[in-house]
């Protein structure tokens, strides 16, 4: 499958080829990460009790916004890890990459753990702040708390993936995401609807399935890192050397991106609060639209991540001219792709919404 897709994206320009070779697996991986919440919404939306279904979809939408906020900040901070590892990789300093990866993991989990704990404790208050009605809160409380646990595994996965992107290894995370998303679909069907003798858990079943899928992805990520198949060598047995310089570089590179994501996601949350006052059904419809729209964001992210890896590698190899070309061409390719996707969403809006 990988070879067939790669051939479809062949360019005469080797710069564009290098960009696309990294960008398309990242794009699929990011889409699949977004699809976790979308699958939950789609399958819950098909529960025969329409009132419950609307409240369940609204619940997932309410919880997805703070979840996306936390994930986007973690992912933005990982950009620093991608850039630094890419420079070491380009400079041939592979022995330095493992320690940077461990710094990335520590920063990501140090941020994710307190956020998950606070969200778990104040789940009802957060949902009420988001403007959810009492019926939505009553249905979505369990989902939110289980998703807080899932968020920890997803943040860990983002940190590992960010490090692998620095050396251009984007296909392994993509393949792992394909497998766990398939697992999530099966788990949802079994636990939401109570198939094969399992209890009908409805919205709680969707959350459990998502958490198990993310946990499985974490295990597969660690197993690959420790297998020795990657240029990024990693072992928990190797001594961790804390470096203030590495920490400072990670924060310096990633913090502006994290603040940008924080401001954007906060704006979306404030807008969600306004829409939630229009009723559960209207709010559920809005969440479906936002869920579809979120897919358009990942295109720019994919080309941005590709640019981070290739620019860092070129700078590490002392090739500033190539670094400039990677940055410029990535921007142009991302913008063009975004316009095309926007047109497709506009033309096929009814069909896309109908999936829910």
* pLDDT at residue 248, rounded to an integer: 87
Share of the chain above pLDDT 70, in %: 94
69 occurs within a structural domain: yes
Longest dimension (CA), the chain: 62
The angle subtended at Cα 192 by Cα 186 and Cα 198, nearest 5°, is 80
Please tell me the pTM assigned to this model.
Answer: 0.79
Q: What is the mean pLDDT of residues 70-86?
A: 82
85 occurs within a structural domain: yes
219 occurs within a structural domain: yes
C-alpha 302/C-alpha 181 separation (Å) is 19
Higher pLDDT, 342 or 276: 342
92 occurs within a structural domain: yes
Number of domains the chain is built from: 1
Q: Residue 123: which pLDDT band, with cuts at 50, 70 and 90?
A: very high
C-alpha 298/C-alpha 83 separation (Å) is 19
C-alpha 267/C-alpha 269 separation (Å) is 5
* pLDDT at residue 105, rounded to an integer: 92
Return the minimum-mean-pLDDT range out of 37-46, 236-245, 338-347. 37-46
Q: What is the mean pLDDT of residues 153-168?
A: 89
14 occurs within a structural domain: no
10 occurs within a structural domain: no
pLDDT at 8 over 60: no
CA distances from 66 to 46, 79, 82 (A): 24, 20, 24
pLDDT at 215 over 90: yes
For residue 220, what are the domain limits? 19-354
- Listed in sequence order, the DSSP H helices in 46-133 are 50-90, 97-121, 123-129
Are 136 and 55 in contact by the 8 Å Cβ rule? The answer is yes
Q: What is the mean pLDDT of residues 126-136?
A: 83
215 occurs within a structural domain: yes
103 occurs within a structural domain: yes
Q: Residue 2: which pLDDT band, with cuts at 50, 70 and 90?
A: very low
Q: Residue 11: which pLDDT band, with cuts at 50, 70 and 90?
A: low
* pLDDT at residue 36, rounded to an integer: 62
CA distances from 79 to 13, 19, 75, 104 (A): 26, 16, 7, 10
Are 25 and 173 in contact by the 8 Å Cβ rule? The answer is yes
C-alpha 323/C-alpha 208 separation (Å) is 43
């Amino acid at each position: 499958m990988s070879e067939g897709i790669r051939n479809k994206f062949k360019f005469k320009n080797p710069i564009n080829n290098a960009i696309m070779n990294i960008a398309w697996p990242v794009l699929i991986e990011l889409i699949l990460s977004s699809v976790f919440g979308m699958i939950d919404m789609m399958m819950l939306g098909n529960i025969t009790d329409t009132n419950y279904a609307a409240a369940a979809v609204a619940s997932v939408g309410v919880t997805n916004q703070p979840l996306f906020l936390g994930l986007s900040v973690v992912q933005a901070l990982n950009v620093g890890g991608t850039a630094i590892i890419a420079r070491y990789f380009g400079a041939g300093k592979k022995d330095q990459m493992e320690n940077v990866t461990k710094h990335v993991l520590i920063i990501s989990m140090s941020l994710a753990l307190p956020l998950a704990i606070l969200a778990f404790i104040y789940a009802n208050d957060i949902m009420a702040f988001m403007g959810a009605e009492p019926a939505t809160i009553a249905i979505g409380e369990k989902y939110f708390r289980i998703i807080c646990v899932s968020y920890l595994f997803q943040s860990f996965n983002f940190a590992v993936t960010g490090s692998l992107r620095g050396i251009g290894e984007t296909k392994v995370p993509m393949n792992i995401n394909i497998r766990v998303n398939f697992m999530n679909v099966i788990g949802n069907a079994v636990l939401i609807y109570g198939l094969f003798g399992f209890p009908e858990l409805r919205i709680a079943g969707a959350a459990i399935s998502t958490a198990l899928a993310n946990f499985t992805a974490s295990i597969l990520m660690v197993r690959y890192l420790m297998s020795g198949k990657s240029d990024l060598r990693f072992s928990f047995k190797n001594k961790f050397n804390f470096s203030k310089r590495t920490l400072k570089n990670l924060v310096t590179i990633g913090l502006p991106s994290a603040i940008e994501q924080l401001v954007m996601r906060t704006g979306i949350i404030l807008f969600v609060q306004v829409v939630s006052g229009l009723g559960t059904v209207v709010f559920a419809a809005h969440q479906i639209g936002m869920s579809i729209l979120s897919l358009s964001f990942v295109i720019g992210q994919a080309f941005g991540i590709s640019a981070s890896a290739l620019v860092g590698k070129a700078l590490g190899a002392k090739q500033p001219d190539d670094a400039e070309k990677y940055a410029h061409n990535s921007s142009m390719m991302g913008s063009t792709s975004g316009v095309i996707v926007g047109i497709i969403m506009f033309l096929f809006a009814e069909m896309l919404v109908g999936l829910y």
